[in-house]
Structure 1
Amino acid sequence: MITTEIAKQQYEIYALLAERRLKDAFGKLAVLITELQDWLSRDKLNEMETSYKYMIQYMLDGVEDPERKRIYDHLVVSAYALTDRVSDELAAPVSPTQYYGWKRYATASRANETLASQCDRCDQALNDLSLASLLSGQEQDAAKLKSLKRRVEEEAGILFMDVWTNYPAREEDYATLRDALYANRFPDDLVGLLISALLLNLLHRFDEEKLLLLLDGYRQESPEIQMRSLCAALIVMYIYRERLSLFPRVQHRIDALGEEPRFKGDVRTVFLQLIKTQETEKITRKMTEELLPEMMKLGPSLYKKIKQEDLMNDINALEENPEWQDMLDKTGIADKLKELTDLQMEGADVFMSTFSHLKSFPFFQSIQNWFLPFNPEHTALSGLLDGQGGERFKKMLSASALLCNSDKYSFCLSLSQVPESQRQMMMGQFGAENAAMQEMANEELMKKEKSRENISNRYIQDLYRFFKLYIRRSEFTDPFAGHINLLHVSVLEPLLSGQESLRLIGEYYFRRGYYDEALELFERLSATYHSDAEVYQKIGFCYQKQGEYAEALEAFLKAEIIAPDNFWTIRRIATCYRNLKKPEMALSYYHRAEKIQPDNLSVQMNIGHCYVEQKDYEEALKYYFKVDYLDPDGGKAWQPIAWCSFLVGKKEQARRYYAKILAGKPTALDYLNAGHVEFSLGHIRQAIDYYRRSIELDGGNTAKFLANFKQDIPDLVSAGISSSDIPILLDQLMYGITDAR
């Protein structure tokens, strides 16, 4: 059985177990066990199935069994565990993934190594480095120190791989992991790395004990360890949300942590940051498809606007020239830059597109390096940050709250491609002459960098980059492939279901346009806040965005009862009625809106549209003319005025307005309608010319033109055109088009 088939069967069994279809799950599991040819697994499955059949029989016989649910849950847990083990054993000898490759290598070359022995090797390497570092400057051997640092990094990398591939775990492995993570045995940087290894391990196979270990990380003193372990645990709980209810110890641990004063707030913070990851792809697309191409187009024209001598004499001429800002405003770049700046201030990931191209360095071929907390003394950066101002530069970069750890490494490694003279000049900018200013900036950055919110945000960005950019990313379960909604994790729901949390999360979803998720939360809020018009307004808006106008109308009507004269609500009700094809009801609400804002152009236009939908063209014209009077240069009402004028027989008036429309930026439909007017006036050649232009604007699509034309035939006949003349004119039009080709 090939690995893709093994994985397919495995996830099919997971789906059946999530639906609690045990019989079908047992059947598919039997297929995997047959492939494995393991009689112990077969016996285990037979034992489970026999127990299940007895349970069913007792229930049919009406036997009351207070232990039934516990036994049933245990059977489901056992089925999950057996599926995990069997599928793992099937994949181990044949899978080409890095995970199984390392396991095969460890079995063949490191048969006597255990998790505990590798921890000891790490410990020894760290001790050797510490002892060497204590020697005086004269006694220190730089090459030896570098060699010892590299050894620490190599042993840490091996330990990362061992923790990641530690499945199935033995009892002594759990004790080793606890000791490595939380006994102050290793520095925080290494503990942070091992937390990431544990996350990858759990994404490969669920393990209750290891999830509890992650949750225990929240009780450590270091904010870095607290927030990293919390982020990892929350992601794992979301991925395995279907089976968490089977593990009461997880619920008990969450309940206990809920007593910690910061826990609920930290969970909410991480949740909001996980939601922000959905913005990353949009931001990246905006950068690569909108902002950067516009900037590239702007370049040549910008330099034409600036005098050559200004550029040569004043390096700031680019910033000071007012035409620069004018050009930015005209192209829309200024607005896009402001939007990105605002997103960055909110903690959004605006650097993904910038640094995604800097992940091809050999450094990132080692999986553990994607999760390393930034250390400017890492041997991969040796020599890159030396020289005048280098130490200060290292401190500034380490403390920067703008970049995640992965991007800091990318930035430093990219310096290797800069000529040394330019690199040294850049470092010199951080020299002693700027010491006071840099020190102040450094302190501010340190505060931001060490804040709990920033730690979790940067760690989530590190994780996002790994799952989206790592060269072998297809081998992993990507938690960011869909939307991580922690409200759907039953054990976390009580922490997030408070009114303050629901509103905060709902507002964030709403502002970012995630209307499905926002709707779910506002519906829950409405059950408590019966008299909050804003909640019902937002419920209605979410429904409207989904095209569910009846549900939107119901919500808006509730909002209207609470706040009867709210202009926004009244307009939305009118819009819903229009979409529900009830123009008479829409009209009554637009007239109410008109009383509140008599000169609102949009309201006036929509009143006109409602009259058109009721075929009262004369009345519609009154409102369209009012819009044209209030905004004579806008041209918003020209098209409806022209068409309604034609429909009521005011053909010359219609012709005048179509002339104004065609002098601007006409559409194919404008030429079609203008042609109708000319046709009705007997100006056949002019009509054919307009029809031809309509077809040209639509890319020569005659079928589309004819379909639109046929819809208008009743109006043409009403305008006095003989129905027998219409096919003749159309044939002449087609002859002309054919001849032109």
Structure 2
Amino acid sequence: MDNNFLSAEYIELQHTAIKKLILDQRLNEAISLLAPLVETIAQAELQYKLDEIRFSYTSMLQYMQKGVEDPERHSLYMKLLAETLEINDQMKISQLANYKYNSYYRLKASYSNSHNNKNLEIIKTELETWCIDSNLDIKDNSFESDQIRKRHEDILTEMFTYIYLNTHWDKTDKLAADAFLKTSNVAGNDLCLMVSAVTMSLLVCFDSLKMKWLLDAYLHTSTNVNQRALVGIAFNIHLYEERMHLYPEIRAQVNILNEMPEFGKELNRMHIQWLFCQETEKIDKKMREEIIPEMIKNATQNLDLPLDETDDDNEDKNPDWNNNKKQSDFEDMMREVGELQQEGADVYMSSFSQLKRYPFFEVLSNWFYPFDKQHSMVVNVLREGTDPKNIVNLILDSTIFCDSDKYSLCFTLQHVPESQRQQMLSQLTEQQLNDFTDDMQILSAKKGDTQPNIICRQYLHSLYRFFKLHQSRKEFPTIFDGRINIHRYHTLRDVLYKEEYLLPLANYYFSKEHFDKAAEVYSEIIGLTKGKADLFEKLGFCFQKQKEYDKAIEAYLKADMIHSDNVWTMRHLATCYRITKNYSNALSYYKKVESVLTENPNVTYYIGVCLAELKKYDEAINYFFKLDFMGSASIKSWRAIAWCSLANDKLEQAVIYYEKVLTMEPNYKDYLNAGHAYLCTKKIDQALSQYNKAYSTIKSKERFIELFYQDKELLLKNGIHENDIPLLIDLL
């Protein structure tokens, strides 16, 4: 590791330590550490600001010491803390700029040397001039038009870079940025890029003026703009929540937005879409390893796979929660892909992850620019394909791909000769083309989708690709990783901490089997509403899946109080009591379930198990005989009958049923218990034969002896002398 990186790492640690002092309200210590650092970089503006803070804080402390009452003292203190945090941030940026240890600081160094005369006002004028003067048509493929396009793209790159690298706006910058939101002469796509630039700049360094600008941008009439602003707001509150209480004006602005009904609704929807992005790696893995291979196999042969059967009754969700029907394996997989697409899942990440190496993606700002058919690099691909029914245009106009993937698709098609593309199109009949159009529309129109939903989802998918695939991705905050609980943040609590928003969040976690997180949110909802039966059922199920059975029982009992005699709840109560070895309570609930599900094999079996554990062997055997009569699980019922017979001094019956078990697929316990049955009926050779099979299966003498001695009391009860046991073991 080189010395520059070591120095940069030290600067980061130093910044974090000072930030912690400020947030812990140890302002004097923070100022004392900052002062010598500011002197070393010789920036007069930072030095002046820090001196002002020190003077104001010293004066405030002196007035307090003299007993002077000041109603503004707390507000001033919060302001001083915020300003000191900002100086600490700027101090880190200035120090790291000297090392150029990552792409951001290298870009900052190169940009500052060549663009000293640029500002937002000049950039806005250039973009307005382009918007007013240009009247481009995609059919216009002249050299002059290409040059105009490229000039426009150069301005956009300059705008993005200027904002991205400017870590601290002053009032002039803010006024110039506000003007972008008010003009109608800056193209919508250009303003979208500006929102992304502000978002990215904030992720590098917090700036309250940029944060306020994003909150203003949410009010823009363009859905593309306000949805990008919404994402930027959420990302940066998530990243900087610990300092947001120092900016009451930001909280006030959020409260004003909260008066708009759609703000909370859209923010909650964006929160869940953001969480859904965290499932992308899991979806990719499933697509690569299961779904795509299965689709390929299904294309070449007709699969007839048996369904997986289980007799475990403690894993099923309440059928009242949904109406899913079981299908074949392949149908299940296709249904799952369809459902993922309907939910808005990012199912194309793996397909496009290798297509981000085109020159287009070497320009940072291009990762954030909305898809535009007039982009100079795209126009060349679409020159001959202007027919709206052209397959390429159908795909690019659909909403199934995010902007980043549409660019990748275009550049991939660029390597396919137009003649081949036209040949592919000519082979399609009019009906096939219409069917394809309909399919694209169905895929694009996801259930319950609205324009803001689609735009926000696509934008998040494009951002996900940037943060996961960009060559400098390790330099950026891991915004898609870790816990994302914006509903709990103080800044957004009044907006999102409501049943109407918490319930979809909890149900999302539940549907993705994040049972720990789902339990937390269901508990919060219950705290707000006192709870309904289905909430307690789901909370109990979450605890049960985490093996927190006592908590599960508590939740199920509350559900049972609200909605008594619900079969699903009673069955899960019985299961949890049985697992925690409270067989009496388990039996009570299994009996209640039995009164409704009279011929259910699992219920019959577990009633027998509970009776056997309570040493009510005669009753238990009757249930196991009933199970055997049902013909549902022969080896399971035979094994249970054999054990109860052995434990209840019905030794010949035990031998008969163990011999049945041994004809099936016995396990080591079956061999061991069959040996006990033969031993207790004085059939020593047969007993030793079964013990040897058990020993061979276990493959550990110590483990075999341990298991053997666990049944010592049973053997003594059936007339085996204690002194004979070690002799029997030595006979093996």
**1:704 to partner: Cα distance:** 5.4
Residue of structure 2 in register with 1:73 after alignment? 78
Cα shift readout 1:498-535 (whole Å, capped 9, x = no counterpart): 43333333333333333344334433433454473223
Residue of structure 1 in register with 2:533 after alignment? 533
Q: Distance in 2 between matches of 1:362 and 1:669?
A: 65
Cα shift readout 1:522-571 (whole Å, capped 9, x = no counterpart): 33433454473223223333333333333333332222222222222223
For residues 441-456 of structure 1, the aligned pairs below 5 Å read 451-456=451-456
Q: How does the TM-score come out when normalised to structure 1?
A: 0.83
Residue of structure 2 in register with 1:317 after alignment? none
Confirm or deny: 8 A CA contact 1:639 1:657 kept in the other structure: yes
User: Secondary structure of 1:10's partner?
Assistant: helix
Confirm or deny: 8 A CA contact 2:499 2:529 kept in the other structure: no
Q: Distance in 2 between matches of 1:269 and 1:286?
A: 25
Confirm or deny: 8 A CA contact 2:131 2:187 kept in the other structure: no
Confirm or deny: 8 A CA contact 2:169 2:209 kept in the other structure: no
**1:111 to partner: Cα distance:** 3.0
Indicate how the Cα distance of structure 1 residues 51 and 651 shifts in structure 2: closer, same or farther if over 3 A, else same: farther
**1:685 to partner: Cα distance:** 5.1
Q: Which amino acid aligns with 1:165?
A: L
Confirm or deny: 8 A CA contact 1:678 1:686 kept in the other structure: no
Confirm or deny: 8 A CA contact 1:509 1:518 kept in the other structure: yes
Cα shift readout 1:355-382 (whole Å, capped 9, x = no counterpart): 2233233332322222221123333334
Q: Which amino acid aligns with 2:256?
A: A
Indicate how the Cα distance of structure 1 residues 658 and 379 shifts in structure 2: closer, same or farther if over 3 A, else same: farther
Q: Which runs of 5+ in 1 are unaligned?
A: 306-322, 734-741
Q: Distance in 1 between matches of 2:670 and 2:357?
A: 53
> Which shifted more, 326-335 or 199-208?
326-335
Indicate how the Cα distance of structure 1 residues 577 and 57 shifts in structure 2: closer, same or farther if over 3 A, else same: farther
User: Secondary structure of 1:577's partner?
Assistant: helix
**1:662 to partner: Cα distance:** 5.2
Residue of structure 2 in register with 1:478 after alignment? 478
RCO higher in structure (CA 8 A, sep ≥6)? 2
Indicate how the Cα distance of structure 1 residues 545 and 330 shifts in structure 2: closer, same or farther if over 3 A, else same: closer
Residue of structure 2 in register with 1:687 after alignment? 690
Question: Percent of counterpart pairs with the same letter?
Answer: 34
User: Secondary structure of 1:576's partner?
Assistant: helix
1:6 aligns with 2:11: yes
Q: Which amino acid aligns with 1:100?
A: Y
Residue of structure 2 in register with 1:363 after alignment? 360
Q: Which amino acid aligns with 1:686?
A: S
**1:392 to partner: Cα distance:** 3.0
Q: How does the TM-score come out when normalised to structure 2?
A: 0.84
Q: Distance in 2 between matches of 1:629 and 1:584?
A: 25
Q: Distance in 2 between matches of 1:704 and 1:43?
A: 76
Q: Which amino acid aligns with 1:239?
A: L
For residues 246-265 of structure 1, the aligned pairs below 5 Å read 246-265=246-265
Q: Distance in 2 between matches of 1:656 and 1:146?
A: 90
Confirm or deny: 8 A CA contact 1:638 1:661 kept in the other structure: yes
**1:487 to partner: Cα distance:** 0.9
Q: Distance in 1 between matches of 2:380 and 2:706?
A: 71
Confirm or deny: 8 A CA contact 1:522 1:535 kept in the other structure: yes
User: Secondary structure of 1:112's partner?
Assistant: coil
Confirm or deny: 8 A CA contact 2:167 2:204 kept in the other structure: no
User: Secondary structure of 2:218's partner?
Assistant: helix
Indicate how the Cα distance of structure 1 residues 704 and 428 shifts in structure 2: closer, same or farther if over 3 A, else same: farther
**1:398 to partner: Cα distance:** 3.2
For residues 235-274 of structure 1, the aligned pairs below 5 Å read 235-274=235-274
> Which shifted more, 70-79 or 723-732?
723-732
Residue of structure 1 in register with 2:317 after alignment? none
Residue of structure 2 in register with 1:403 after alignment? 401
Q: Which amino acid aligns with 2:271?
A: F
Indicate how the Cα distance of structure 1 residues 355 and 612 shifts in structure 2: closer, same or farther if over 3 A, else same: farther
Confirm or deny: 8 A CA contact 2:120 2:159 kept in the other structure: yes
Residue of structure 1 in register with 2:504 after alignment? 504
Cα shift readout 1:368-403 (whole Å, capped 9, x = no counterpart): 222221123333334434446755335422321211
Residue of structure 1 in register with 2:351 after alignment? 354
**1:651 to partner: Cα distance:** 4.9
Indicate how the Cα distance of structure 1 residues 626 and 482 shifts in structure 2: closer, same or farther if over 3 A, else same: same
Structure 2 residue corresponding to 1:379, chosen from 369, 376, 380: 376
Cα shift readout 1:206-247 (whole Å, capped 9, x = no counterpart): 111111111212222211112121122122122222222221
Cα shift readout 1:291-329 (whole Å, capped 9, x = no counterpart): 234456x36xx74x5xxxxxxxxxxxxxxxxx4576999
**1:486 to partner: Cα distance:** 2.3
Residue of structure 1 in register with 2:587 after alignment? 587
Confirm or deny: 8 A CA contact 2:669 2:694 kept in the other structure: no
**1:187 to partner: Cα distance:** 0.9
Q: Distance in 2 between matches of 1:161 and 1:102?
A: 9
Give RMSD over aligned pairs.
3.8
Q: Which amino acid aligns with 1:690?
A: K
Q: Distance in 1 between matches of 2:411 and 2:645?
A: 69
Q: Distance in 2 between matches of 1:294 and 1:434?
A: 25
**1:34 to partner: Cα distance:** 8.0
Residue of structure 1 in register with 2:310 after alignment? none
**1:203 to partner: Cα distance:** 1.0
User: Secondary structure of 1:632's partner?
Assistant: coil
Indicate how the Cα distance of structure 1 residues 570 and 445 shifts in structure 2: closer, same or farther if over 3 A, else same: closer
Confirm or deny: 8 A CA contact 1:560 1:570 kept in the other structure: yes
> Which shifted more, 417-426 or 459-468?
417-426
Q: Distance in 1 between matches of 2:643 and 2:35?
A: 71
Q: Which amino acid aligns with 1:363?
A: F
Q: Distance in 1 between matches of 2:656 and 2:382?
A: 72
**1:63 to partner: Cα distance:** 6.1
Confirm or deny: 8 A CA contact 2:294 2:330 kept in the other structure: yes
Q: Which amino acid aligns with 2:569?
A: T
Cα shift readout 1:111-144 (whole Å, capped 9, x = no counterpart): 333344444455555566x16x389x8xx66223
**1:345 to partner: Cα distance:** 0.9
Residue of structure 2 in register with 1:87 after alignment? 92
Residue of structure 2 in register with 1:458 after alignment? 458
Q: Which amino acid aligns with 2:632?
A: P
Q: Which runs of 5+ in 2 are unaligned?
A: 1-5, 308-325
Confirm or deny: 8 A CA contact 1:389 1:430 kept in the other structure: no
Q: Distance in 2 between matches of 1:601 and 1:3?
A: 67
Q: Which amino acid aligns with 2:97?
A: A
Confirm or deny: 8 A CA contact 1:228 1:456 kept in the other structure: yes
Residue of structure 1 in register with 2:568 after alignment? 568
Confirm or deny: 8 A CA contact 1:385 1:391 kept in the other structure: no
Cα shift readout 1:173-215 (whole Å, capped 9, x = no counterpart): 2223223344223211111112111111111111111111112
Q: Which amino acid aligns with 2:573?
A: I
The alignment of Structure 1 onto Structure 2 pairs a total of residues equal to: 703
For residues 181-196 of structure 1, the aligned pairs below 5 Å read 181-196=181-196
Q: Distance in 2 between matches of 1:56 and 1:628?
A: 85
Q: Distance in 2 between matches of 1:57 and 1:667?
A: 82
> Which shifted more, 333-342 or 40-49?
40-49
Indicate how the Cα distance of structure 1 residues 142 and 706 shifts in structure 2: closer, same or farther if over 3 A, else same: farther
Confirm or deny: 8 A CA contact 1:591 1:607 kept in the other structure: yes
Residue of structure 2 in register with 1:336 after alignment? 333
Residue of structure 2 in register with 1:610 after alignment? 610
Q: Distance in 1 between matches of 2:584 and 2:436?
A: 68
Cα shift readout 1:28-83 (whole Å, capped 9, x = no counterpart): 65686587587976786676567657767877887654223212312321232122
For residues 29-44 of structure 1, the aligned pairs below 5 Å read none
Q: Distance in 1 between matches of 2:216 and 2:239?
A: 19
